[in-house]
Amino acid sequence: MQAIERADVPELVALLDAQVIVHSDGGGKVRSALNPVSGADRVARFLIGVQRKSPVGNISLGQVNGAPALLMECEGRTDLLTVDTGAGAATRILLIAIPQKLGHLGAAFGPLPG
């Protein structure tokens, strides 16, 4: 999140697998990418662009289906970002912004360390 907030493309690319892919789902209620975004540079720029358009407020850390996840408040709604990793880099990122599917997650998440 720090690299995204600073719009630091090289730092963010270093955290991503070269073949990383982002899937986003707004459930037809929240604006999201229609197609997956792939490749470290494109994914980094996409995530930075999303942050610029909808700045994130409070962020909580947790897990969903065994993967690290962030629960983020932005523009009066809650979004979920999960990250699958392999060999020390993010290989797949899911960005979910469907309000009716995420309301129950808050209790399972805690503050970010540091």
- The pLDDT assigned to 19 comes to 97
- How does pLDDT run across 93-107, given as a tens digit for each residue? 998 887 666 666 655
Handedness of CA 59, 92, 88, 17 (dihedral sign): negative
pLDDT grade, residue 114 (50/70/90)? low
Q: Where are the alpha helices (DSSP H) in 28-102?
A: 40-53, 99-102
Tens of pLDDT along 30-55?
777 889 999 999 999 999 998 888 88
Q: What is the pLDDT of residue 66?
A: 78
Classify 91 as helix, strand or coil.
strand
> In which band, very low, low, confident or very high, does the pLDDT at 112 lie, cut at 50, 70 and 90?
low
Identify the band that residue 1 occupies on the pLDDT scale cut at 50, 70 and 90: confident
Q: Report the alpha-carbon distance of residue 55 to residue 83 in Å, rounded.
A: 19
C-alpha distances (whole Å) from 73 to each of 23, 30, 63, 103, 106 are 19, 14, 16, 11, 10
Kindly state the percentage of the chain with pLDDT values over 90. 38
Query: What is the rounded CA–CA span in Å between residue 100 and residue 68?
Result: 21
